[in-house]
Structure 1
Amino acid sequence: MHPDRLPGHPHIAYAGDELFVEMIPLSALAQQYGTPLFAYSKASMLAALAAYQQGFSGRQVQICYAMKANSTLAIIQLFAHAGCGFDVVSLGEMQRVLVAGGLASRIIFSGVGKTRAEMHAALEAGVGCFNVESEAELEVLNEVALNLGLQAPVSIRVNPNVDPQTHPYISTGLKGNKFGIAHEHVVQTYQRAAALPGLKVQGIDCHIGSQITQESPYLDAMDRMLDLVEAIEAAGVPIHHIDMGGGLGIEYQGETPPEAAVLWRKLLAKLDARGFGDRPLMIEPGRSLVGNAGVCVTEVLYLKPGEQKNFCIVDAAMNDLPRPAMYQAYHQIVPLKPRDTTPETWEVVGPICESGDWIGHDRDLSVAQGDLLAVMSAGAYCMSMASNYNTRNRAAEVLVDGSQAHLIRAREGYADQMRQERLIT
């Protein structure tokens, strides 16, 4: 029997006893492209984006896809065609946006460790704004901009000390995090930025974390941001836009994050109540646009019963799906073609030589050697974090659009991995 429901979007669902992405059975994709395989629903991504757009109806808002969630070129292209800007954290991500047809003027360049070379390239490309994360970065960016005879448009990322109530590795807005400038130093930092001739102050930015599933952290952060805008402008520095970052969670295991449209109606009401309703906004969603649009298909290689644990060994591994090993994260695992047999409890693990190479603990599955499984909610922070550990080739990726499947990343080969290496002669 197949599960009663799958988390996320209905564009990935069972029809009869077969798991489909939109109108294509995943088993057919696995047969054509092999496993491990990432498959994404175009309709799911556009529906997630539409929820934000609905919440912003009639407002001045630029949605910038946070491409660290998934930086595959065709996915960037999809969001560029849908009118999105992009939040990047490296020169490589910026280059991907430009190759995929995104506009430099709609790029926000974030990150705590921008190099001079990255600043130089971004300024020459004409990026829309730098989200500056430290006072030292202000000074370096000013110097780079003056050397180019340009002014760098800047927002300052504020650390509002709001607890996002999420995993500590993906919490970014507390005093103990490396991101942003502590809110008690923000006004003087803006005054310094306004005094530097190579900078042009544009806005204010915050990002409190990722996989946030409650409204209250956002509402608290908005209050603190608006307090700061009032203080900064009272000190003589105009703030032209407010960037509330991203971080809205998705359902992996029973979470009920707020709907994007509902959350933003509440945040906009707060803006209106405090007199900022006409202020242009930016947001940077990532996971909430792509996370539940993707699945990873994997084949059961071996079943290995044991005295304490039964191991279901699959051909996907921690290099393909890093989140369980890195964050102890949960992904639902379901069969592509369910068996009508009594389930047993399995540790679903990969082939890599690490005890940390697990995909799911204590999963009740009716499974046999050679079966195909779907690891759900794999659209975010899987392929973008994938590696070649154990000299494993990275998986293929397919974008499904109705009854059409587009190969958007060919499976990597060993020659691809070794292309830049040299033997000693």
Structure 2
Amino acid sequence: MHHFDLKAGSLHAEGVSLESVAEAVGTPVYVYSSATLRRHYGLLRDAANAWPDALGEALIAYAVKANSNLSVLATLARLGCGADTVSEGEIRRALAAGIPPERIIVSGVGKTDAELAFAIDSGVRQINIESAVELDRLIAVAAARSATPAIAIRVNPRIGAGGHAKITTGGDTDKFGVPVAEALDLYARAAASPHVTPVGLACHIGSQITDLAPLEAAFRVLRDMTLSLRGQGLTVSRLDLGGGLGVPYVGGQSDPPSPAAYMAMAARVLDGLGVEAAFEPGRLLAANAGILLSRVIQINQRTDGRRFLVLDAAMNDLMRPALYDAWHEVVPVRPRPGDARPHDIVGPVCETGDTFARDRPLPPLEAGDLVAFMGAGAYGAVMASEYNSRPLVPEVLVDDSRWAVVRERPSYEQMLDREPKADWLQ
């Protein structure tokens, strides 16, 4: 569910007309709904709270990579949400947004020594270790600081899942985590070190998962490992179950399981372990809380009948369709009456890959009309670039009838001023 609806014939974000946003800010522009962010977090929080015996005081740590806008993070922080981070920059963003360090998890397959040191100095909840060499480097960094950071070992359970090969992270050939046997050895090694404190295991097998079966299989691997480690006399008090639960992008895709069903499954697997669970949703919280608003430049009608809807939004603003064939519903902001006709929806960037959809049935549209890409709140603005020297797309946050620009569109002068010429070219 989201809070983008037609009112008086025009699409609104909560109580704000998208036409008024476009008039004031220009297009393309991302628009986020605070009410949707709050609703999605509340559903997941309530679903986890229903199973205190199995999940403990479960931490919901939002995956910052999905949408790292400070105002989005601050909205979630006020609800008690934690953060899953994968870089020093994301740790800094989470802290700046008001998320306390004890609710921040640090992940990532290639953390630098500087990032490990920053995580330790920040007092984060835990650092997820993804290789033997990383464990050795963290021990050295922690020893230099006389610190004993809490860590979890990220397991690659050889169970990959997700909406596309490029967002599957738990398979045999994926770069993330370590196999089960190696993870058990690493945990024992960490327990023998005076410079780190192993507290648990972690896994994350992919994104946009619409079937609970692979998630349950991965969680059962962690359960079995927990029992094995405890059999060796080692303490395992936390299980980081990652994220990945899919969202309904429509387009003929089957509906994913509900947060309630997801948490009930996790509770069933963890029952009796006495661990504290952590979940790392990103897309689940942010995707349907945002849209990309764009204006029609023109409609190119070929003699062979093919019709191109040319928008002012491009692949540099919304990368997902070009990157992994992602599907977004595209709707007119002020629908016109008439029959739908197939269009190829494209942007102005000089790449054939700058194509959002082929043969998509759309109602009548004209140059100057506004359209909205639905479900664009996750992996949208955060992946945007200035390719073709196009200004970075701005972001707007709506809360009921009020709204604010939470990232501005730079001017061409600002873009050029960021690149001083080499002194011999002055």
Aligned mate of 1:154, from 148, 151, 154: 151
Q: Which runs of 5+ in 1 are unaligned?
A: 1-8
Letter in 1 for 2:179: A
CA distance in 2, matches of 1:100, 1:133: 27
Letter in 2 for 1:80: A
- Deviation digits for residues 102-149 of structure 1 (CA, Å, limit 9, x no counterpart): 212211110000001111111111111101111110000000010111
Partner in structure 2 of residue 22 of structure 1: 14
Partner in structure 2 of residue 318 of structure 1: 315
Partner in structure 2 of residue 356 of structure 1: 353
Alpha-carbon offset, residue 236 of structure 1: 2.5
Alpha-carbon offset, residue 399 of structure 1: 1.0
CA distance in 2, matches of 1:174, 1:308: 43
Alpha-carbon offset, residue 279 of structure 1: 1.4
Partner in structure 1 of residue 388 of structure 2: 390
Aligned mate of 1:91, from 88, 97, 100: 88
Name the SS of the counterpart of 2:65 in structure 1: coil
Mean Cα deviation higher: 406-415 or 86-95: 406-415
- The answer on 1:193 being equivalent to 2:190 is yes
Partner in structure 2 of residue 231 of structure 1: 228
Mean Cα deviation higher: 361-370 or 71-80: 361-370
Partner in structure 1 of residue 46 of structure 2: 54
Partner in structure 2 of residue 167 of structure 1: 164
Aligned mate of 1:40, from 32, 44, 64: 32
Partner in structure 2 of residue 270 of structure 1: 269
Question: Is this contact kept in 1: 2:65–2:282, CA < 8 A?
Answer: yes
Partner in structure 1 of residue 401 of structure 2: 403
Counterparts of 1:2-151 in structure 2 under 5 Å? 9-57=1-49, 58=52, 59-151=56-148
Question: Is this contact kept in 2: 1:37–1:395, CA < 8 A?
Answer: yes
- The answer on 1:283 being equivalent to 2:275 is no
Question: Is this contact kept in 2: 1:111–1:133, CA < 8 A?
Answer: yes
Aligned-residue CA RMSD (Å): 1.3
CA distance in 1, matches of 2:108, 2:160: 20
Aligned mate of 1:293, from 289, 295, 303: 289
Deviant stretches of 4+, over 4 Å: none
**TM norm structure 2:** 0.95
Partner in structure 1 of residue 410 of structure 2: 412
CA distance in 1, matches of 2:2, 2:223: 37
- Deviation digits for residues 287-314 of structure 1 (CA, Å, limit 9, x no counterpart): 0000001001100001111226311110
**Percent of aligned pairs with the same amino acid:** 39
Alpha-carbon offset, residue 404 of structure 1: 1.1
Question: Is this contact kept in 1: 2:162–2:244, CA < 8 A?
Answer: no
Alpha-carbon offset, residue 16 of structure 1: 4.3
Letter in 2 for 1:215: L
CA distance in 2, matches of 1:241, 1:335: 47
Question: Is this contact kept in 2: 1:48–1:289, CA < 8 A?
Answer: yes
Question: Is this contact kept in 1: 2:157–2:179, CA < 8 A?
Answer: yes
Letter in 2 for 1:93: E
Letter in 2 for 1:391: S
CA distance in 2, matches of 1:285, 1:47: 14
Aligned mate of 2:243, from 246, 260, 281: 246
Alpha-carbon offset, residue 405 of structure 1: 1.1
Partner in structure 2 of residue 378 of structure 1: 376
Alpha-carbon offset, residue 424 of structure 1: 2.1
Alpha-carbon offset, residue 166 of structure 1: 2.8
- Deviation digits for residues 24-56 of structure 1 (CA, Å, limit 9, x no counterpart): 221111111110011111111111111111111
CA distance in 1, matches of 2:276, 2:240: 9
Partner in structure 2 of residue 305 of structure 1: 301
Name the SS of the counterpart of 1:407 in structure 2: strand
CA distance in 1, matches of 2:116, 2:258: 36
Mean Cα deviation higher: 71-80 or 259-268: 259-268
- Deviation digits for residues 58-92 of structure 1 (CA, Å, limit 9, x no counterpart): 44111101000000000111111110111100011
Q: Which runs of 5+ in 2 are unaligned?
A: none
**Shift in alpha-carbon separation, 1:35–1:165, aligned structure 2, 3 A:** closer
**Shift in alpha-carbon separation, 1:242–1:408, aligned structure 2, 3 A:** same
CA distance in 1, matches of 2:246, 2:300: 35
Letter in 1 for 2:29: L
Name the SS of the counterpart of 1:175 in structure 2: coil
- Deviation digits for residues 164-189 of structure 1 (CA, Å, limit 9, x no counterpart): 25311000011110000111322111
Question: Is this contact kept in 1: 2:148–2:195, CA < 8 A?
Answer: yes
Mean Cα deviation higher: 141-150 or 190-199: 190-199
**Shift in alpha-carbon separation, 1:10–1:112, aligned structure 2, 3 A:** closer
Question: Is this contact kept in 2: 1:66–1:286, CA < 8 A?
Answer: yes
- Deviation digits for residues 356-379 of structure 1 (CA, Å, limit 9, x no counterpart): 001222112211111100011000
CA distance in 1, matches of 2:104, 2:177: 19
CA distance in 1, matches of 2:143, 2:415: 40
CA distance in 2, matches of 1:223, 1:396: 43
Alpha-carbon offset, residue 397 of structure 1: 1.1
Partner in structure 2 of residue 3 of structure 1: none
Name the SS of the counterpart of 1:367 in structure 2: coil
CA distance in 1, matches of 2:340, 2:220: 49
